[in-house]
Amino acid sequence: MMKLRFVLSNLLAAGLVLGLSVLPARAAAEEAVIVALGDSLTAGYGLPQNQSFPAQLEAALRKRGHAVRIVNAGVSGDTASAGLKRLDWSLSDDIDAVIVELGGNDALQGLPPAATKAALSKIIERVQGKGLPVLLAGMEAPRNLGKEYVTSFGEIYPDLARQYKIPLYPFFLEGAALDSGLMQRDGIHPNAEGVSVIVKNILPDVEALLSTLQPNEDG
């Protein structure tokens, strides 16, 4: 009898553990997972991780009732070509959509716009090849690089949006750039308040991206 109780007790304990382990997995499966692929503006340079763009965006979306997880795939210093090289390991099987924020470092380094465009094109093609929707965040080149460069660089993002029929958020730093109160001392990276402004501005576009996702039929 004691042996039977021991076996039943172990089975009950195993069942409870199994139940606890299954519930989070099921809840996670119901979340939309968006990868934010970018550079230091995405990574959260100079900020606590809970104040980075992905963290603040996730919090804002959850506050509006969206079950979503934003994966921070930002690497400080990355050019578009560097982002392309690490793209495959940035996209796990549970990804539902991708936000692409790259090109700022290309402009700061004065790299040829054609090379930046080619790298971004390959990123978009690979993401779309996985059947994932893309939101492209545009950047602008510093004015001191000259009118020709600024114009050529600025045409990259709308051209790609038209070519691949994807939504474009024209300028990632909209509302924060050139406002010293919203930028860090380097004048390049937003502070926590600046990120909050960026999130507020881009939020409708991300919600539109979420609306394109197919519901999980297995959930």
Q: Catalytic residue positions?
A: 40, 186, 189
Can you read off the two tokens belonging to residue 135?
Answer: 């939101």
Estimate the crossing angle of helix 147-154 against helix 113-129, to 10 degrees.
Answer: 10
Q: Which helix (H) or strand (E) holds 100?
A: strand 97-101
Distance CA 87, CA 130 (A): 12
Between CA 189 and CA 13 the distance in angstroms is 51
Cα distance between residue 58 and residue 100, in whole Å? 16
DSSP class of residue 45?
T
The answer for residues whose C-beta is within 8 angstroms of residue 177's C-beta and 6 or more apart is 140, 171, 183
Q: Which is nearest to 34 in space by CA: 104, 99, 109?
A: 99
How many Cα atoms occupy the beta-carbon half-sphere of 192 within 13 Å? Answer: 6
Dihedral pair phi/psi, residue 171, rounded to 5°: -145, 110
